Amino acid sequence: MKLSARNVLPGVIRKIERGAVNAEVVIELAPALNVVSVVTLDAINSLKLKVGDRAYAVVKASSVMIAVD
């Protein structure tokens, strides 16, 4: 796999919450560190995603905001 994105985060799928059109996919990167992505049900099916599978969260953004309290 080759991508132009520089932020490729490997992890394990811990949860897939299906809705009517989309699904929320939780990828655990490290203990107590998760990334959540919303993807179409078609993407879930074509990638054959299942809980326990290894997967990558790929982040490509032109800007990343940072906030503090």
Q: What is the pLDDT of residue 62?
A: 74
Q: What is the pLDDT of residue 66?
A: 78
The angle subtended at Cα 45 by Cα 30 and Cα 52, nearest 5°, is 30
Q: What is the pLDDT of residue 60?
A: 82
Segments in the chain below pLDDT 50 = none
What CATH class does 7-59 carry? mainly beta
